[in-house]
């Protein structure tokens, strides 16, 4: 049964919710009231019907919007997964890893870059797990990176930021987002805590390596005499084989190939196609480091003494995973240096001990004292070098001048 209509009231008023007309029996005049749907309280709206209708509509819009937002917040609080905006970030990470695999297969990025980005992307996936990609703000990213800075991991924070910029860039290409919030964060400088290596320290480490496998000392000598990076030294061979040309072509085209274009010796030069930069260097075998009283050629001869091998840095003993003459993996070369460093008894006052790579910096300083153009030796390009040497864009060998 429908409720009885009360005398003096009109609930219709053109069906505007919560607006009522009330008739005063004493004066026989009508007034209007608004009933708050949140708690049932009545509020006077005056005697002008049109004004009362306008006010009631405005109140309904504001109050019902508030009620809807309240219900939304309550429901989303009970179901955190609903808070996502856009694709879930961890799902996009899976897609990003697929894209990164594809870029590796086409030669767009190098294996080491692929390995590092895959590792960092997994970390970032955990950092923003449960968030939609569109809901990740600049503040979210800044706070996440700050946590690493506060732990003294500034380099890691820089690497995470760089990878995150790439992740969002790919998301923009895919239409998942429109802006790159990671690029809006500040790239805070990292204080280098790794110690530089002095020549006296190098000499002590070299002597400590005397009881280790011969390739440890040989790799150290090559690093100091040539100033080249670890990977270039580990790949170096005594001569160029037929596989070198196709490997270089594949490298330039960023195509997959079973081997990398390695350094080799030919016509009294050590030819070094730098793995990191692609620069082609020719280092004369008679390049001599005065403090050691040795030349590059002397070190090459020393590398031939213990076993027959294609590689300058090679194993001289059979082992579980290697045979005599096999190349020494670059990580093993690095560990060999670290082992000799540990045997030397040197300490660096709380700083990170110098790594194998620090020999490159030491070589630059020692050769600069001899007056050598170290910028050429290290394969760095700048305006100064362009003024002295014409830029051949990696199409020809760049000779290191010894005088």
What is d(CA 385, CA 281) in angstroms, rounded to the nearest whole number?
14
DSSP at 106: T
Contact yes or no for 259/247 (Cβ under 8 A): yes
pLDDT score, position 395: 43
Phi, psi of 83 (to 5 degrees): -70, -10
Mean pLDDT within 326-352: 91
**Partners of 352 in the β-ladder:** 194
Q: 286-317, pLDDT tens digit by residue?
A: 999 999 999 999 999 999 998 899 999 999 99
Q: 373-402, pLDDT tens digit by residue?
A: 888 788 765 434 323 323 333 445 666 766
Residues with catalytic roles: 229, 276, 357, 360, 380, 389
What is d(CA 374, CA 401) in angstroms, rounded to the nearest whole number?
9
Q: Which superfamily, per CATH, for 199-399?
A: Intergrase catalytic core (1.10.443.10)
Phi, psi of 242 (to 5 degrees): -65, -20
Q: Which fold has domain 89-184?
A: DNA polymerase; domain 1 (1.10.150)
Specify the 3-state DSSP secondary structure of 118: helix
Q: 166-217, pLDDT tens digit by residue?
A: 999 999 998 888 889 998 988 876 565 667 788 999 999 999 999 999 999 9
Q: 230-261, pLDDT tens digit by residue?
A: 999 999 999 999 999 998 888 887 778 889 99
Of how many residues is the chain composed?
403
**What ranges make up the beta strands (E) of 36-168?**
42-46
Q: Which fold has domain 9-78?
A: Double Stranded RNA Binding Domain (3.30.160)
Mean pLDDT within 264-280: 91
Q: Is 199-399 the same fold as 89-184?
A: no
Other beta carbons within 10 angstroms of residue 381's beta carbon come to 15
Domain boundaries, given as residue ranges, for the chain: 9-78, 89-184, 199-399
What is d(CA 342, CA 368) in angstroms, rounded to the nearest whole number?
29
Q: In this structure, are strands 280-284 and 288-289 parallel, antiparallel, or unpaired? A: unpaired
């Amino acid at each position: 049964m429908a409720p009885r209509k009360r005398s003096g009231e009109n609930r219709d008023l053109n069906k505007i919710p919560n607006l009522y007309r009330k008739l005063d029996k004493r004066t026989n005049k009508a007034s209007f009231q608004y009933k708050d749907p949140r708690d049932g309280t009545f509020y006077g709206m005056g005697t002008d019907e049109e004004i009362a209708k306008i006010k009631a509509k405005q109140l309904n819009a504001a109050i019902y919007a508030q009620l809807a937002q309240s219900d939304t917040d309550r429901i989303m609080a009970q179901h955190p997964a609903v808070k996502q905006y856009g694709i879930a970030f961890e799902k996009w990470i899976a897609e990003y890893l697929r894209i990164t695999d594809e870029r590796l297969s086409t030669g767009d990025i190098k294996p080491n870059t692929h390995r590092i980005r895959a590792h960092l992307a997994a970390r970032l996936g955990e950092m923003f797990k449960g968030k939609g990609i569109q809901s990740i703000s600049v503040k979210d990213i800044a706070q996440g990176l700050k946590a690493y800075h506060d732990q003294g991991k500034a380099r890691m924070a820089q690497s995470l930021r760089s990878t995150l910029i790439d992740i969002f860039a790919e998301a923009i290409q895919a239409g998942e987002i429109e802006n790159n919030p990671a690029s809006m964060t500040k790239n805070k400088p990292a204080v280098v805590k790794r110690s530089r290596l002095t020549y006296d320290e190098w000499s002590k480490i070299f002597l400590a390596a005397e009881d280790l496998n011969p390739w440890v000392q040989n790799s150290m000598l090559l690093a100091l005499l040539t100033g080249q990076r670890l990977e270039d030294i580990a790949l170096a061979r005594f001569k160029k084989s037929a596989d070198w040309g196709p490997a270089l072509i594949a490298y330039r085209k960023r195509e997959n190939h079973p081997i990398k274009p390695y350094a080799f010796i030919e016509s009294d030069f050590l030819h070094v196609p730098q793995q990191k930069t692609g620069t082609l260097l020719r280092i004369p075998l008679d390049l001599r480091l005065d403090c050691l009283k040795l030349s590059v050629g002397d070190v090459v001869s020393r590398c031939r003494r213990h076993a027959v091998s294609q590689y300058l840095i090679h194993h001289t003993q059979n082992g579980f995973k290697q045979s005599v003459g096999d190349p020494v993996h670059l990580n093993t070369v690095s560990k060999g240096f670290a082992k000799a460093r540990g045997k030397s008894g040197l300490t660096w006052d709380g700083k990170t001990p110098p790594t194998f790579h620090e020999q490159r910096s030491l070589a630059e300083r020692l050769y600069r004292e001899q007056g050598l153009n170290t910028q050429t030796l290290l394969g760095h390009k700048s305006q100064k070098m362009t003024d002295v040497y014409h830029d051949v864009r990696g199409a020809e060998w760049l000779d290191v001048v010894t005088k």
